[in-house]
Each structure stands twice: as C-alpha cells, then as structure tokens.
Amino acid sequence: MGKLVKRAGVLAVGAVIFFSSVSFKTDFFEIAKQIEIFTTLFKEINMNYVDETNPPQLMDTAIKAMLQDLDPYTNYWNEQDVEAARINNSGEYTGIGATIKMGKDAITIVEPYKGYPADKAGLKAGDEIIKIGNIDVSDFEEDAGELLNGAENSTIDFTYRRQGEVKTTTLTRGSVNLKAVPYYKLLEDNSGYIVLSRFNAKAAVETARALKDLKNQGAQKIILDLRGNPGGLLSEAINVSNIFVDKGELIVSTKSVIEKYNKEYFSQNEPVDTKVPLVVLLDGRSASASEIVAGAIQDLDRGVIIGARSFGKGLVQRPKELAYGTQLKVTISRYYTPSGRCIQALDYRSRDEEGNAIRTKTEDYNQFTTRNGRTVFDGGGILPDIRLETSEYSGITQALLTQSAIFDFATEYYYKHNLENLQDFRLTQSDYDNFREFLKTSGFYYQTDTEKELEEVLLTAQKEGFEDKIIQEYKSISSEIDQYKIKELEEKKPEITSLLTDEIIKRYFYKEGLYDYYVVHNPEIIEAQDLFKNQQRYAEILN
C-alpha cells in the first residue's frame, strides 16, 4: 500500500461527536423506527429506480452524508480503510514506499521514502502517476490508490507525468517499515535531539531507546521534536509522557456523556529520566496525541514548549466493529490535560451559516494553572512558552499549503537548480521573489475572512436594492485588501521561508537530510540550545 495519508488507531485521538441528550441514545424505539424507514427506502430505490443502481456506492454515499452532520473525524471505514489503519498503527506494510495525494486524474507522489521501492524506481516528489498497468487513473471509479497494493516482490508498471513530459517505470513492491522516531542525534552542545513523527505502536519504545542511547553518548539535555506530528494512539501518548515524568502522574483524563468513557490515565511505568532539561517543539500541525504529551509536560512543569500554537484537537476516537469487516471510527469523549483544560479549537456543535464549525475565540479561553502556578489556557491548542515566527501558520500560509503552492514551487525549483552541499543551502531574497512571481501564474487564490464578510454584505445589498449605493465603497475596500495581501507575503516571510526551505531540501536530500539541516540551521532548535545555555531563564519560565 502506498497511501499513508489516513491517520487512525485502535484508540486514537481525533474529533468530536455530540448527541443533544442522553435520552436520545436510550430511545431505542426511535432508533429502530428510523432504521426501518431507511431500510425500506433503500430497498425501494434499488428495486424501482429507472436506471440500474449500485447498492454499495449508494450506501457508502448515504453513510458519509449522515456522518458529515457530526464532525470530520467520525468516519465509516470499509475493509481497505481498516487495513490502512492497521498499517498506520504498526508502521509496517508492503507497498511502494511513498506518501501520495489522490487527484481526479492522477496520483501525485508527495514524498518518496529513501531506499524504498518508489525511490528505487526513480519516482520523485511532484511526479503524477496517470496510468497503473493498463488502467488510466482518470477512468478508475474507485480509489485508484488501491491499485498500488500488492504482494511483496510483485511488479507494477507506472506511466507518469514529470514537468509536462510523460515517462514510464517499473516498480517492485517491497516491505516498508516506518519508524516513529526516524531521527535522533547528539548535538555539539551535548543536547540530544529526538524527532517523534507519529504515535504508532512503536512510539514510546523508540523514543525511550533514543533517549537512552543519547544519554550513553553524553546527552545532558533533550529536544523532543513533535512538529508536524498529527497524533495517533492515546496509549502511546501516555507512555511517551511517562518517559519523562514519574510513575503515578495524571497524564490525561477523558470525559463524555457516556459514563464508561470517563477515565483518568496515569503513568504506569518507571520513567527513563525525570531530571534532564527538556524542550518540546510544536507547530500548527502538531495534533491530538502530540498535544497530550506537550500538555502533560507543560502542566506538570516538566519542560519548556517552543514553537507555535498547536492544532487544537482535544477529542478521543475509538473504532467500533461493524459487519463484513467494516468499522465506525466514532468520537467518544473529550480529553483534558492534567490542569483540567480541553484544548479543542473547533466547536462542531456550533456552526456558522455555511455549516462550518466555529473556532473558539481568544476572549473565550478559560484560565488554568500548572503545578508551579503558571497560567495556561484552554480552547485553542497548546500555546508554547516561547513563540517563534518561523513556526507560525497564518491564514495565507495555510492557504499556500492547502493549495500546494509551496509544494509545486519546490518541484519547479528542483528541476531548475543543482544543489550538492546540504549545509550551503539558503533560500535567498531572489528565490523568495521568484516564489511571489510563481504565485501570480499558478492560480493561487487567497480569500481573507474580511473578503468573505464583504461578499455577504454585497449580496444582502443586492437583495435590498442598495448595491449601487455601496459598490464604490466595496471596490475601494477590496482594493485595499488586495494591497494588504501583497504586503502579507512579506510580513509572513519567516514562516513561509521556513516551509519553502523544508520542502526544497527534502527534494534533494530526503527527510533524513532535512533533519541534518535542522540541527545546524533550524531556528527552533537554535532557540532551544540558547535556552539550555541560560539555566536561569529556563528555570524562570517553569517557575
């Protein structure tokens, strides 16, 4: 299997499902009634519709439409999805060894893993697979990614598009082992740097092993990098926290309208080291299990958090077995850090006019205190003790990521530049100017919240007959916003440059090379090292 973009777990941290009252859950007559109505409707449609129907596809559509009213993390899994979840939790599978992105007409290689089948076959990030064997991806009605599956040592022919040129290659599927800790290293100042990229079943074991090895090499302080870690198994989040805190500490608690899901989770094992100075790195893509670890470390005053506010996913999910090997991944509870805060950012019970979940406003955050009496807040992820611009994800940066503008520019850069020495790379002002020009021709579109509100005002004015009276003001404000967006590309340059640097380096030196670059040049790691040098500042932050 080549697709590793779905995140799941036996007990995973995810989103929120909410029922208006307990009585709804216990009204079995009403549930039975609605099931009977749906069953009879489904039967009549398939027996009487004018054209031939596809029952599995109809049912899949019906289930997904129903779940859309709840939240984006309560999902129905077919047999393939269940297998993908098992693979993600184990970190081992047979496939092409690459992260991919599904498109309507092609499968894009997002990241080939060094030394694995896709890499050996010459595939690069940005390559668009348009044909698998004799099947055109655009003609395949199901998930074309499933065509990448197959037995170990089996071969598969690809036709792909690279920079407008069509090429072919043959790939031999192989065993892929994705480590939870893909990189760790002793730095020159005797700091131990550990990257924890996923909370699969190996997360705690690999983190503990890396810590012990670094201590044996002489590490006297530790940097735990959770940036970009989307989470995973709740049990592993608890065990990773336990590496740095005493046995018997409350790590996280869960609360639900269903009493059996109200639980407290304590560290169960003897720690590896509770005294070593510790920094945890976070960014806007650090979510769920990452936030449990960071929240516990912060609330227990065990270490300092550096980076940017995390994603804000404060909810717990559990897969429920259904018929024929399928599953329902359903949110069962919210989780709370040791201080009692829930850091969920989006409220799926409250929706705007477009049906989008409402984000908790800063003024609505509640105040809590850590063990040492420091003030922390709920409602919007874990706020670092030290915030850095290079870790932030502003609105325009999120748009650049969502629309793959940074990814596509890095692809173009790779085929125009030779880069032989990793440590010599710097994204220059000229490179950034080229990126800004690239955006003008790439179809990139960024709409601010203000623009959305203005459009609604104009639509309302049209209905009420005031359009002619406000159109000039509308155009004037729109023009000012356009000028602001141009300036915003410069104002947000540190965070955009950081992401561009990451993406470009991976093209030449893979993820391993990126980490080698980090330990010399990354602003967050440098900030952590500077903090370790200033023991008084470190102690003052925690006290």
pLDDT average, residue stretch 249-268: 95
Helices and strands, counts by H and E, the chain: 16, 24
Predicted pLDDT at 25: 52
Predicted pLDDT at 347: 81
- Whether residue 197 contacts residue 228, with contact meaning beta carbons closer than 8 Å, is answered with yes
Predicted pLDDT at 15: 35
Taking Cα atoms as reference points, which of 501, 524, 522 lies closest to residue 427? 501
pLDDT average, residue stretch 221-240: 96
Question: What Å distances lie between residue 72 and 62, 65, 68, 352, 439, CA to CA?
Answer: 15, 11, 7, 16, 30
Three-class DSSP category at 338:
coil
Predicted pLDDT at 106: 93
Write the pLDDT tens digit of every residue in 331-376.
Answer: 999 999 999 999 998 888 777 766 777 787 777 789 999 999 999 9
Specify burial of residue 33 (Cβ count, 10 A radius: 0-12, 13-18, 19+): exposed
Backbone CA torsion sign across 335, 339, 340, 343: negative
24, pLDDT greater than 70? no
Residues forming a β-bridge with 76: 328
37, pLDDT greater than 60? yes
What is the Cα–Cα distance from 453 to 450, expressed in whole angstroms? 5
Q: Mean pLDDT for the chain? A: 89
Least confident of 125-129, 149-153, 316-320, 347-351: 347-351
18, pLDDT greater than 60? no
- Whether residue 533 contacts residue 189, with contact meaning beta carbons closer than 8 Å, is answered with yes
pTM: 0.86
Predicted pLDDT at 146: 76
Residues forming a β-bridge with 320: 328
Residues forming a β-bridge with 264: 253
Other C-beta atoms lying within 10 Å of the C-beta of residue 56: 9
Question: What Å distances lie between residue 267 and 208, 241, 251, 365, CA to CA?
Answer: 14, 8, 7, 28
Task: Rank 41-55, 134-148, 356-370 by mean pLDDT and report only the highest.
Answer: 41-55
- DSSP strand E in 226-345: where? 250-255, 263-266, 278-282, 304-307, 315-321, 327-336
Least confident of 157-171, 227-241, 270-284, 458-472: 458-472
Write the pLDDT tens digit of every residue in 190-228.
Answer: 999 999 999 999 999 999 999 999 999 999 999 999 999
Helices 467-491 and 493-521, packing angle to 10 deg: 20
Over its C-alpha atoms, the chain yields an Rg (Å, rounded) of: 25
**With bands split at pLDDT 50, 70 and 90, how would you rate the model's confidence at 26?**
low
452, pLDDT greater than 80? no
Report the relative pairing of strands 375-377 and 367-369 from DSSP bridges. Answer: antiparallel
Better pLDDT: 435 or 139: 435
- pLDDT above 70 covers a percentage of the chain that reads 94
What is the Cα–Cα distance from 174 to 155, expressed in whole angstroms? 9
* The two structure tokens encoding residue 143: 């998930």
Better pLDDT: 41 or 90: 41
414, pLDDT greater than 50? yes
**With bands split at pLDDT 50, 70 and 90, how would you rate the model's confidence at 158?**
very high
472, pLDDT greater than 90? no
